[in-house]
Amino acid sequence: MKTEQIFQEFEQRLEKEYYAQLAKEEILTVPLLIEIFLDDDYTNAHWAEQVLEYICDENPKLVYPFFEFVAKGLDNRNGFLAWSTWKVLTKLLSVDTENKFESIKDRFYNALASKTLAEFSIACDCAVSVFINKPDEQEKLLDIMKKSAEHKFYIDDTEIENSGEIAKGKAQIFLERIIDDKTKAENS
């Protein structure tokens, strides 16, 4: 299939499953999705991020060779798209044989220390994958979550009320998901 044909397939906005299958069959699918994801058009970039996330759930090995290109999404001018990049990247950690996480690890911990609630929230959700797939990071992640009640969030220069409680709640969800994943693994 030619590049133009793949873009025509994208324009149809079919189900994510269709594009996951297309990615298995057509080698250009993932790089073209990444190109759309890195574009400034929010609607298309968000759609591509969701498709990439789905492909990573189904078969992360299809996206992993492009880890560094996906990581460029962290620099997106749209904060939400930049933060959502973590969703794709952390889904690749289960196949991170080349330890590519090291190249973005500091940025991940900066996201966990963010004073922006949305960025912190997404990073917390993604921390479960880091915890499971990067055992060397477990102690550091647990230390961060233990101190979550001290976390402060701001909109402009104004502190959000109950910041610590909000962060503590996200940390609790993180811990519950880890326990749940561990229980599932033991029962398998």
Q: What is the pLDDT of residues 20-55, one digit of tens each?
A: 898 899 888 999 999 999 988 888 889 899 999 999
pTM for this entry:
0.88
The residue ranking higher by pLDDT, 169 or 187, is 169
Domain boundary assignment for the chain: 1-98, 104-188
Give the pLDDT confidence score for residue 5 in this predicted structure: 66
The first and second tokens of residue 43, run together, are 């609607």
Q: What is the mean pLDDT of residues 121-131?
A: 96
- CA 175 – CA 188 distance, rounded (Å): 20
User: At 155, phi and psi to the nearest 5?
Assistant: -115, 120
Q: What percent of the chain has pLDDT over 90?
A: 69
Evaluate if residue 172 carries a pLDDT over 60.
yes
Give the pLDDT confidence score for residue 126 in this predicted structure: 96
User: At 159, phi and psi to the nearest 5?
Assistant: -70, 140
